[in-house]
Chains A and B, each alone.
Chain A
Amino acid sequence: MLAVLASFLHSSIVQGIPLLFGATGEILTEKSGHLNLGIPGIMYVGGISGIVGGYLYEHFCERPVALLCILIPLVCSLLGSGLMALIYCFLTVTLRANQNVTGLALTTFGTGIGNFLGGSLLSFFGESGSISLLTIGKWYKAYPVFADKLGVFGEIFCSYGFLAYLAVIVALLVHYFLNKTRAGLNLRSVGENPATADAAGINVTRYKYWSTVIGGMIAGLGGLYFVMDYTGGTWTNNGFGDRGWLAIAIVIFALWKPARAIWCSFVFGGLYICAVLIPGLSSAAKEVIKMAPYLVTIVVLVLSSVHNRRENQPPASLGLNYFREDR
């Protein structure tokens, strides 16, 4: 029984990590007042950039080194998702375009890039088959050897690749940044009321740019984790599925608090996977269970608006662009 529970917790956490990256990135972005619906696309790009970087390295290098195996995809992923976030940011912050429309376009674009490169990368180099970067995947999946000796404890806490721990650390760091630092306070004020923040001498544009781009990079890591660790360095078109939207759902479920997002992601990961793990379920029942994360999100969304507690609300200017000369 304990072993079953441990393996369930393990799978929930594995499923939850990409969601956690996405949710943390989206929370940081939304705190600046920008609802980035491009996150699903950004996560695709984060994944495929890592794959492309890793593939080129494996392709052109005789003896891949462990450190570079990890660093090159990581940097490529950060660059790719950062660029995507920059497109969003330029359009919505500088050109003041509608955030929903821009975000949806970014998701179309990003999913297209991911699937296109994933489907055609090998044919550019005259190879056929599907991408599999097993060496790199192995390094991303590597966990300390002692984990196996620790039994259940090891399985639940120590058996993940380094990106999983990074996800939790990043979420905690963002929590600390938002709640305990001056810059975090400024960022929150930009999201609540940019005009007041502007009057107080805060550079609204700079805060919006940084939070969106860094938020996008964090979300992109979720895509990287998925392709490198979860699938072990392989790419399947649309394999990432709707996890990007689920990450946006978690932002609501976690009430815009990154530290809460940690356990919320794991709960969602559990809901996502339990349909597969519970034996003897009919396929219809499995599909009903998969509905749960979305229903739970709706309930939380409704309850938080009905109770109308101040600390549980979305940033007040979420979705609205700021133009100084507006009245």
Chain B
Amino acid sequence: MSDLNNKAPAPEKLPASPAPEAEKKVREPLFHIVKRAGIPRLKAWGIRVVAILLALLLNALIIHWLTGLDPLAVYKSMFDGSFSTSRKFWVLLQNTAMLLCIALAVTPCYKMRFWNLGAEGQVLIGALSSGALMFYVGDKLPSGVLIALMLGAALLSGILWAGFPALFKARFGTNETLFTLMMNYVAIQLVNTMIAIWVPSGSGVLGIMNSRTNNGWLPTVFGQKYALNIIIVSLLTVFMFIYLKYSKHGYEIAVVGESENTARYIGINVRKVVIRTAALSGCIAGLAGFLLMAGSAHTVSNTIAGGNGFTAVLVSWLAKFNPFVMILTSLLIEFLQKGAGEIAQAFRLSSDIADIATGIILFFIIGCEFFLNYRIMFRHKAQKEGK
């Protein structure tokens, strides 16, 4: 029966016989995108270097267009911004170390795909709580005790600031990106409030504290004010590398990040890992706040983190969450900031050009990730491989 039915309309279909030809005429799209299974490490770095070079070229052209400076001279004066005097060099190192420290803080979270955008607030709250101790008991305690108390307060408040959103994320699935983002502004307002209380004149600027006694200031080592900060952050970098790569915690973080279901299946307590990792992240951010407060600024202001809480996200992500590569990426960003600032100063341009330059570099590096993860197959090539 069915055979008959099938045969009956056959003659009508006959005119459609050139169908196979028509199928051939359907043009394949010019290219399509295929996910790469993997990419040789050398090639991956090659692509990244090309992207950075292209971005530097574009930056040089823009600066050339604005200032009439020869593009090579642009980079020479950028180098001057960071390396011309030993003071500038130490400032570069200190800034890089602090950016790196905050980047190290957010890394375990990102590895776990927990989008912690609250580093800015966690750093601020760390600086604020250690600053509060310095303000209230700064001249009543010996310096060593004070520093220990300040460190404890900073770590604890950082843990609180990151752990709170993580608690809700783990328990109710609350969106952590938006939660941590809002916590930044709560921290900023807390800082503003405390400064308003501490500075009755209403100027809103809390001066450098204990500048005479240096009580609660981190000690100077090797005759360099910033050396201790840099050493601490270097140790932290090594610790974070080992923690993420060789510890059980690091393994759990990686599994939860790759697939929560797998993690549950192999018996990892996902909630615990989420809260623990966020707390660690907040703890390190609090440490960064403490280092900024006790090691370099010795005052509290709502710009003490200076947007580095956000830049750190980029630093960490650009380095693919590898702490050692982060040294390079944070150095790159700080170098750009300093260099563009130098050019801006020399040509009486607004120093915000540094942000534009950084933005362009970031776009290129972000964009080049695509070529690491995907392959573009052009029509002819695809057909050849098909045969």
Q: When the two chains form the complex, which single residue of B33, B313, B350, B363 contacts A115, counting CB atoms closer than 8 Å?
A: B350
- Check B186 against A112 for contact (C-beta < 8 Å): no
| Chain B residues closer than 8 Å to A37, beta-carbon distance | 117, 181
Residue of B nearest to A96 (CB): B370
Of the listed stretches A11-19, A52-60, A131-139, A301-309, chain B binds: A301-309
Give the distance in Å from the alpha carbon of A269 to the alpha carbon of B214 in the complex: 43
* Of B172, B197, B353, B362, the contact of A105 (CB 8 Å cutoff): B362
* Distance (whole angstroms) from the CB of B359 to the closest CB of chain A: 3
Please name the residue on chain B nearest to A323 by beta carbon: B35
Q: Does B360 contact A (CB under 8 A)?
A: yes
- Asked if residues B172 and A306 are in contact (CB atoms below 8 Å), the reply is yes
Rounded to whole Å, the gap between the CB of A208 and the closest CB of chain B is 15
Q: Does A288 contact B (CB under 8 A)?
A: yes
CB contacts (< 8 Å) of A305 on chain B: these are 168, 172-175
Establish whether residues A96 and B366, one from each chain, have CB atoms under 8 Å apart when the complex forms: no
A-contacting 9-mer, from B23-31, B39-47, B123-131, B187-195: B187-195
A91, B367: Cβ atoms under 8 Å? Answer: yes
Interface contact B353-A106, CB-CB below 8 Å: no
- Write the B144-178 contact mask toward A (1 if CB under 8 angstroms, else 0): 00000000000000000000000010001111011
Contact flag A87-B197 (CB < 8 Å), given A96-B370, A116-B353, A249-B182: no
Judge if B60 is at the interface, Cβ distance under 8 Å.
no
Closest to A251 in B: B178
B186 is contacted by which of A35, A110, A123, A294 (Cβ under 8 Å)? A294
Also in contact, A298 and B366, with CB within 8 A (given A101-B317, A108-B358, A305-B173): no
Q: Say whether B168 contacts A98, CB under 8 Å.
A: no
Q: Determine if B177 and A35 form an interchain contact, defined as CB atoms under 8 angstroms apart.
A: yes
Q: Verify if A170 is at the interface (C-beta below 8 Å from B).
A: no
Other-chain residue from B310, B349, B350 in contact with A104 (beta carbon distance below 8 A): B310
Docked complex Cα distance between A294 and B180 (Å): 11
Q: Taking the nearest CB of chain B, how far is it from the CB of A115, in angstroms?
A: 4
Q: Is A193 located at the chain interface by the 8 A CB criterion?
A: no
CB distance from B23 to the nearest CB of A (A): 20
B258 contacts the other chain (Cβ, under 8 Å)? no
Give min CB distance, A313 to chain B, whole Å: 9
User: Does the CB pair B202–A283 fall under 8 Å?
Assistant: yes
Contacts A108-B311, A302-B168, A314-B175; is A248 near B181 (CB within 8 Å)?
yes
Cβ–Cβ < 8 Å partners of A325 in chain B: 33-35
Q: Which residues of B contact A118 (CB under 8 A)?
A: 350
Bound Cα distance from A286 to B197, whole angstroms: 11
How far, in whole Å, are A286 and B370 apart by their CA atoms in the complex? 47
User: Is A113 an interface position by the 8 A CB rule?
Assistant: yes
The answer to whether B185 has its CB under 8 Å from any CB of chain A is: yes
- In this assembly, does B115 line the interface, its C-beta being within 8 Å of a C-beta of chain A? yes
Interface flag for B332 (CB, 8 Å): no
Also in contact, A294 and B179, with CB within 8 A (given A108-B355, A120-B350, A325-B35): no
Q: Tell me if B53 counts as interface (CB < 8 A to partner A).
A: no
Q: Does A260 sit within 8 A of B, measured CB to CB?
A: no
Measured CA separation A72–B183 after assembly (Å): 39
Could you tell me the distance in whole angstroms from the C-beta of B307 to the nearest C-beta in chain A? 8
Chain A residue, CB-CB nearest to B348: A123
B356 CB–A CB distance under 8 Å:
yes
A252 close to B189 (CB less than 8 A): no
A234 within 8 A of B: no
B355 touches A87 (CB 8 A): no
A109 touches B374 (CB 8 A): no
Q: Determine if B355 and A301 form an interchain contact, defined as CB atoms under 8 angstroms apart.
A: no
Is A105 in contact with B359, judged by CB distance below 8 angstroms?
Answer: yes
- Pick the contact of A109 from B35, B181, B182, B355 — CB < 8 Å? B355
- The residue from A108, A114, A297 contacting B362, defined by CB atoms under 8 A apart: A108
Contact yes or no, A91 B178, CB < 8 A: no
Decide yes or no whether A207 CB sits under 8 A from chain B. Answer: no
A residues less than 8 Å from B314 (CB atoms): 101, 104-105
Does the CB pair B317–A294 fall under 8 Å? no
Task: Find out whether the CB atom of A97 lies under 8 angstroms from the CB atom of B186.
Answer: no
B205 interface residue, CB < 8 Å from A? no
Q: When the two chains form their complex, are residues A112 and B359 in contact, meaning their CB atoms are under 8 A apart?
A: yes
Task: State how many angstroms separate the Cβ of B116 from the closest Cβ of chain A.
Answer: 10
Measured between beta carbons, the chain B residues less than 8 angstroms from A294 are 182-183, 185-186, 189
List, in ascending order, chain B residues with CB within 8 A of A291's CB.
Answer: 185-186, 189-190, 193
Whether, in the assembled complex, B304 has its beta carbon less than 8 Å from a beta carbon of chain A, the answer is no
Q: A109-B356, A112-B356, A314-B175 are in contact. Are A287 and B196 (CB under 8 A)?
A: yes
Confirm or deny: B373 has a beta carbon within 8 angstroms of a beta carbon on chain A. yes
B233 CB to nearest A CB, Å: 22
Interfacial chain A residues near B175, Cβ < 8 Å:
252, 301, 305, 314, 318
Contact A109 B362 (CB under 8 A): yes
Judging by beta carbons under 8 Å apart, are B193 and A105 in contact? no
Minimum distance in angstroms from A224 CB to a CB of chain B:
20
B168 / chain A contacts, CB cutoff of 8 Å:
302, 305
- 6 additional A-B residue pairs with CB within 8 Å, beyond A108-B307, A116-B352, A242-B188: A97-B366, A98-B366, A283-B196, A283-B204, A294-B182, A301-B182
Q: List 14 A-B contacts (CB under 8 A).
A: A95-B369, A96-B374, A98-B369, A100-B115, A101-B366, A108-B362, A109-B358, A112-B359, A118-B350, A248-B181, A249-B178, A287-B192, A294-B186, A305-B172
- Mark B residues whose CB is within 8 Å of A: 33-35, 115, 117, 168, 172-175, 177-179, 181-186, 188-190, 192-193, 196-197, 202, 204, 307, 310-311, 313-314, 317, 348-350, 352-356, 358-360, 362-363, 366-367, 369-370, 373-374
The 7 A-B pairs at the shortest CB distance, nearest first, are namely A112-B355, A109-B359, A119-B350, A95-B370, A291-B189, A115-B352, A105-B362
